[in-house]
Amino acid sequence: MTWKAKLGSQIPAELGKEIDVFETQMELRKLGKIDEKLFAETRLRRGAYGQRYDNAQRFDGFKTQRLTYPHAGLTKGPDTAWDAPGMQRIKIPFGGVSPEQLEVLADIAEEYADGILHITTRQDFQLHFVHIEDTPASMRRLAAVGITTREACGNSVRNVTACPIAGVCRTEAFDVTPYAKALAGFLLGHPDTQDFGRKFKIAFSGCECEACGLVYMHDMGALAQVRNGQRGFKLFVGGGLGAVPYQAKVFAEFVPVEELFPVAQAMARVFARLGEKQNRARARIKFLIDKLGVEEFQRLVAAERKILATDARWTAYLPGAAAYQENPLKPGRQLTGKPTDGLAAWLETNVYRQRQTGYAAVTIACPIGDITAQQARQLADLARKYCGGHVRTTVEQNLVFRWVSEADLPELYRGLQAIGLNEYGAGTILDVTACPGTDTCKLGIASSRGLARELRARLAGKFFTLDAAVKGLRIKMSGCFNSCGQHHIADIGFYGNTRTIGNRKVPHFQVLLGGRWRNNAGSYGLAIGSVPAKNVPAVVERITERYVRDRQGTEEFQDFIARIGKAESRRMIEDLMPVPAYEKDPDFYRDWGDPREFSLGDMGMGECAGEVVSALQFELAAAERLNFEAQLAHEAGDFAKADELAYGSMLQAARGLVHEQWQDVPADPATVVREFRTRFSAASLFSGPLAAYLFQRHDQPPVAPTREAAHRLIEEAQLFIEGAHTCGDKLRQQLAAPLKK
Amino acid sequence: MEPYKFGIRFQITNAATQPLTDFIAVFHGWIQRQALAGHLLVDVHDYSHVPNGPGILLVAHEANLNIGETPRSLIYIRKQPTPLTETFAAAQAAAKLLTTEHGVQFQFSQFEVFANDRLLAPNTAAGAAQWQALVAQSTGGQVVQQSNDPRERLTFVVTRQP
């Protein structure tokens, strides 16, 4: 019995086929028939990500150990052991997750990971310590409840995020949910999004003043607007955090909803065509826009938009989107009675009164984004009972129950208390956000989660005594400068770095002050200095005390920092920067939550950028997979199928070559063969005898292929694919030649 | 005997007030020595901030081991299909190492065995009937199904003479 057999038709056909293909690619990799770089990008595009120590070595505090896994020598990417535990990222478009989905997520967390569901800063779920052999089964179980992991990582359109209170927000222009959902579906696997040099992140927000959508820090941000009664979006492009943060620029003040998809598609085509492909550090669209200027980018996108063939999907979803609404489970009734102490604090920080009278959106604070599988199942029960299953993940690593009748809040609180998830302080200084850092990330320098745990514990102990202005501050941290913890948009942000003292490394965190979470990530904080990791709690205390003491009236933290200036901000923490000698305090030479002496030796190559794999390489890999399947069919005695698959593999390879010259080449065999003949065979770019294999099979398909004929065609197809590789190399050399001059 | 993915939970009878985080150093020490025979010990993960969570996790290629709460226990979960007798022996070996080196005491007269595979071992009456004998035979105890919630893993409470 397998999950594939058990779930059968519950798995949507298209998703099922994709997972079958991935499973075959895994087999091909094990047979050495797929290059490791290509396989790395393939698995990344299925959300199967690398994890710390997957290069099969780890510093144990005294020495670097070689981890000898059973499949020694087999890799799933460059310097990445096949058996090493990895991370599975699971896309949750707009953060919408149903109770049924939560239950399946819980099951796979328990059976294939470590029993924890981790919510990311982009509304995904992540599972850690997953073996790659378990990924197809987990993908099938997710697919059966409508979740795909496709393009969760790699150089692709990542999870499309949206405000978690869209539709119930008091200040939004309209509910962006159906637009975010539809755009995510439209761009998923779209041919125009398959050849990016880096990832592409999209966010939706319903209003300008709040933070929820964070549109200013995305590759493409869509801010809901209504003009003359018509829905549309103010579109932003070229934002992003990372090592070098960029504020997005306005692409268009108003794009009507009818134009949202074609404009996004046109942007994707321009990015795929002109974006940097070799220098990974400058391959995000923000660099392209910086290079071209936003006006030129607008012009290019407009020109691209004009030549797009009309797609019915651009507008087919609009009637449904306009009518979209969630149905509450119960009538909204107001809360009466005096709440108890714990409930009162929770009501104050975790409950948002919805636009709809008598309803509340409840934030369930998940410590550093973690919930157990058991809690996920219990949350599914609570969601069914209190909010009709309307649950969202948030970019602050929490969950939101929407449409809770206010009268049910005390009961829901008790339900959450029973499962250990009634923590107050959501969206406050207590609700620290952190990326995985050195816990699991290959790029992590310092332990962001270790620090987050420490800060949460210390702040929780004195939360009720904190000044109200301090309670409202946000702390975010990343394990390195890449900003997955979104440290740039925190009031107080940190990112991990290191300093050498004597001959030892000491974990440090750079301090950034004055980022603005509100106004859709309205401004970024400025670095004021690096402090030893063990002094960060003192830094937080110092800064917050100074703010309480010296702020003027109701002065906000950003204004306070701007007023006192960078030099004074630095002076505030300067005495916390020195590191005592190792002999005096060796604790400084260890990171939070890790007794090993600190080392950078465990850092590896990150996979955030994916591998540079061209669209042609993907097409040729697909051709090889088809050829492999032809061999399996032949072995099983199905010669007709073997013949068809072998022919298909040649078509796939030919189409890949044509695609290099004609982006919109259709898939029908007649067109592919005609174009291949004209562009490659007749132009002597492709070996004549090899091209003849395709032409012959295309022109004279066999009525009933024999064993021998099918076998011969498989061999010919393999040679044809080899020819396509050679031809692809020639094309690349031709492209590179002018650059060498 | 067919191999399957099972887990074992041994309740800790002392050290209930000891900070969970004390086990971080213990597990790092195990990795330094590769102290658990038949296991490639890989990493330690701190989940002490998660209420009722896995606590402190030791990741091996063959299994996940964690010191978790409610009640405080050592939980050993095999990752690849393995005969239950081997899984049981490995869990006992880990527990004994904690006892010998750190004085952690366990209740071996009653413990849990669970199947970490809802496909082959669903938590149903039929699932329990199918697996009960194997669990009893492999652990040498009397076996009772813990609950019949089909969402949960098939779990048996095993009682045996110490």
- pLDDT, tens digit, for every residue of B7-26? 999 999 997 788 999 999 99
CA distances from B151 to A10, A147, A667, B52, B143 (A): 18, 19, 44, 18, 20
CATH, range A168-323? 3.30.413.10
CB A206 within 8 A of CB A161: no
Residues whose CB falls within 8 Å of the CB of residue A496, separated by 6 or more in sequence, listed in order: A437, A438, A444, A445, A446, A447, A448, A477, A478, A479, A480, A507, A508, A509, A510, A533
For residues A586 and A596, what is the distance between their CA atoms, to the nearest angstrom?
11
CA distances from B124 to A145, A381, B129, B149, B152 (A): 22, 20, 8, 8, 10
Q: Is residue A739 scored above 50 in pLDDT?
A: no
Q: Which two tokens stand for residue A178?
A: 């159906």
Q: Read off the pLDDT of each residue in A663-690 and give the average, rounded to a whole number.
A: 91
For chain B, strand residue ranges (E) read 6-11, 41-47, 55-60, 63-68, 73-78, 110-115, 142-145, 155-159
Q: Which of A576, A189, A166 is nearest to A361 (CA)?
A: A166
A377–B51 C-beta distance less than 8 A? no
Domain assignment present for B131: yes
CB A289 within 8 A of CB A247: no
| The CATH fold of domain A341-418 | Alpha-Beta Plaits (3.30.70)
Q: Does domain A433-589 have CATH number 3.30.413.10?
A: yes
CA of A4 vs chain B CAs: smallest distance (Å): 11
Q: Which of A63, A125, A46, A53 is nearest to A86 (CA)?
A: A53
Q: Is residue B98 scored above 80 in pLDDT?
A: yes
Extents of the domains making up chain A? 3-143, 168-323, 341-418, 433-589, 615-740
Give the least confident one: A157-161, A498-502, B98-102.
A498-502
Sheet of A359-364, strand order: A96-97, A391-393, A399-405, A359-364, A351-353
pLDDT of residue A451: 97
Q: Is residue A737 scored above 70 in pLDDT?
A: no
**DSSP 3-state of A351:** strand
In this complex, the residue of B28, B42, B54 whose CB is nearest that of residue A61 is: B28
Q: Is residue A603 scored above 70 in pLDDT?
A: yes
The residue that leads in pLDDT, B48 or A602, is B48
Q: Is residue A309 scored above 70 in pLDDT?
A: yes
**DSSP 3-state of A702:** coil
Q: Which one of A373-387, A698-712, B142-156 scores highest in mean pLDDT?
A: A373-387
pLDDT of residue A342: 85
Question: pLDDT confidence of A610, banded at 50, 70, 90?
Answer: low
Q: Is residue A523 scored above 80 in pLDDT?
A: no
Residue that the structure tokens 């040498």 belong to: B140
**Would A3-143 and A433-589 be classified into the same CATH topology?**
no
Q: Read off the pLDDT of each residue in A231-236 and give the average, rounded to a whole number.
A: 97
**Interval A371-423: pLDDT, tens:** 999 999 999 999 999 999 999 999 999 999 999 999 999 999 999 999 999 99
pLDDT of residue A650: 95
Residues of B in contact with A103 (CB under 8 A): 151
pLDDT of residue A180: 98
pLDDT of residue A213: 81
Q: Read off the pLDDT of each residue in B104-129 and give the average, rounded to a whole number.
A: 95
pLDDT of residue A741: 35
Q: Which of B63, B84, B82 is nearest to B74 (CA)?
A: B63
Angle at A606 between CA A244 and CA A194, to 5 degrees: 85
Give the least confident one: A164-178, A452-466, A594-608, A691-705.
A594-608
Report the share of chain A in percent with pLDDT over 90: 79
- Which residues constitute the domain of residue B118? 6-159
* Alpha-carbon radius of gyration of chain B: 15
Q: Other CB atoms closer than 10 Å to residue A344's CB: what's the count?
A: 12
Angle at A125 between CA A421 and CA A488, to 5 degrees: 90
Q: What is the DSSP string of A73-126?
A: T-EEETTEETTS-EEEEE--GGGEE-HHHHHHHHHHHHHHSSSEEEE-TTS-EE
Whether ipTM exceeds 0.95? yes
Q: Is residue A133 scored above 60 in pLDDT?
A: yes
B52–A116 C-beta distance less than 8 A? no
Question: pLDDT confidence of A740, banded at 50, 70, 90?
Answer: very low
What type of residue sits at position A86? Answer: G
CB A147 within 8 A of CB A141: no
CA distances from A65 to A265, A375, A483, A527, A594 (A): 48, 36, 29, 36, 17
For residues A539 and B102, what is the distance between their CA atoms, to the nearest angstrom?
36
For residues A76 and A36, what is the distance between their CA atoms, to the nearest angstrom?
6
pLDDT of residue A282: 87
**DSSP 3-state of B37:** coil
Question: pLDDT confidence of B131, banded at 50, 70, 90?
Answer: very high
What type of residue sits at position B107? Answer: Q
Q: Other CB atoms closer than 10 Å to residue A144's CB: what's the count?
A: 20
Q: Read off the pLDDT of each residue in A584-600 and give the average, rounded to a whole number.
A: 94
Kindly state the DSSP code that residue A394 receives in the 8-state scheme: -
B116–A111 C-beta distance less than 8 A? yes
Q: Read off the pLDDT of each residue in A50-73 and give the average, rounded to a whole number.
A: 93
Q: Between β-strands A86-90 and A80-81, what pairing exists: parallel, antiparallel or unpaired?
A: unpaired
Q: Read off the pLDDT of each residue in A679-702 and give the average, rounded to a whole number.
A: 92
pLDDT of residue A28: 94
Residue that the structure tokens 């050592």 belong to: B74
Domain assignment present for B135: yes
Q: Does domain A615-740 have CATH number 3.90.470.20?
A: no
pLDDT of residue A30: 95
Kindly state the DSSP code that residue A481 receives in the 8-state scheme: T
pLDDT of residue A517: 80
Q: Other CB atoms closer than 10 Å to residue A582's CB: what's the count?
A: 16
Q: Between β-strands A116-119 and A370-372, what pairing exists: parallel, antiparallel or unpaired?
A: antiparallel
In this complex, the residue of B47, B59, B119 whose CB is nearest that of residue A370 is: B47
CA distances from A701 to A646, A656, A705, A712 (A): 12, 22, 9, 14
Burial category of A4 from C-beta neighbours within 10 Å (exposed 0-12, middle 13-18, buried 19 and up): middle
Report the share of chain A in percent with pLDDT over 70: 98
State how far Cα A54 lies from the chain centre.
20
pLDDT of residue A618: 85
Domain assignment present for B1: no
Residue that the structure tokens 């009501």 belong to: A347
In this complex, the residue of B40, B45, B153 whose CB is nearest that of residue A68 is: B40
Domain assignment present for B41: yes
Measure the N-to-C terminal CA separation of chain A; round to a whole number of Å. 61
In this complex, the residue of B57, B66, B151 whose CB is nearest that of residue A103 is: B151
In this complex, the residue of A2, A67, A596 whose CB is nearest that of residue B42 is: A67
Quick one: residue B81, left, alpha or beta (phi over 0 = left, psi -120 to 50 = alpha)?
beta
Nearest chain A Cα to B34, which residue? Answer: A65
pLDDT of residue B35: 97
Residues of B in contact with A84 (CB under 8 A): 42
For residues A169 and A469, what is the distance between their CA atoms, to the nearest angstrom?
24
Compute the mean pLDDT over every residue in chain A, rounded to the nearest whole number: 93
Most distant pair of Cα atoms in chain A: their distance:
88
Q: Which of A572, A529, A581 is nearest to A549 (CA)?
A: A572
Nearest chain B Cα to A141, which residue? Answer: B119
Q: Read off the pLDDT of each residue in A527-552 and give the average, rounded to a whole number.
A: 96
B54–A67 C-beta distance less than 8 A? no
B79–A65 C-beta distance less than 8 A? no
A68–B52 C-beta distance less than 8 A? no
**Interval A321-365: pLDDT, tens:** 999 999 999 999 999 888 887 899 999 999 999 999 999 999 999
Q: Between β-strands A202-205 and A161-162, what pairing exists: parallel, antiparallel or unpaired?
A: parallel
CA of B57 vs chain A CAs: smallest distance (Å): 8
For residues A492 and A674, what is the distance between their CA atoms, to the nearest angstrom?
61
| The CATH fold of domain A3-143 | Alpha-Beta Plaits (3.30.70)
What's the number of CA atoms in the CB half-sphere (13 Å) around residue A412? 30
Count how many domains chain B has. Answer: 1
Q: Read off the pLDDT of each residue in B22-49 and give the average, rounded to a whole number.
A: 97
